[in-house]
Amino acid sequence: MKKGLLMFALILISVFLGSFLGDLASGVPGIEWLGKSYEIGFSTFDLNLHLFVLTLGLQLKVCICEIFFILIALLSYSKLAKLIIG
């Protein structure tokens, strides 16, 4: 349970940190490629059932810097788990 929470926290922190640094890097010449982002998912669509309308959609925006930070978090997980949890 503790290891799962640690993994979730590491990935969440790496996504936020990668997104923040990717936004900062997008205006700097030479490293603007770190801020390049891609949208993955599908657009919204409506399901009209006469009683109610259901709208579904999923969009995920991922930048290159986030991917690097997630990889670093996954590679450092085992050492951090031993250090923190024991």
The pLDDT score that the predictor gives to residue 4 is 86
Look at residue 13 and tell me whether its pLDDT is greater than 80: yes
**What pTM was computed for the model?**
0.76
Q: Kindly report the CA angle at 84 between 83 and 85, in degrees rounded to 5?
A: 105
Quote the CA–CA distance of 67 and 78 in Å, as a whole number. 19
The pLDDT score that the predictor gives to residue 86 is 72
Based on the structure, what is the number of domains in the chain?
1
Which one is predicted more confidently, 17 or 3?
A: 17
Average pLDDT score over residue span 60-76 = 92
The pLDDT score that the predictor gives to residue 53 is 93
Question: Which alpha helices (DSSP H) does the chain contain, by range?
Answer: 2-25, 64-84
Q: Which domain holds residue 58?
A: 2-84
Please state, for a pLDDT cut of 90, what percent of the chain lies above it.
Answer: 52
Residues 6+ apart with CB under 8 A from 10: 73, 74, 76, 77, 80
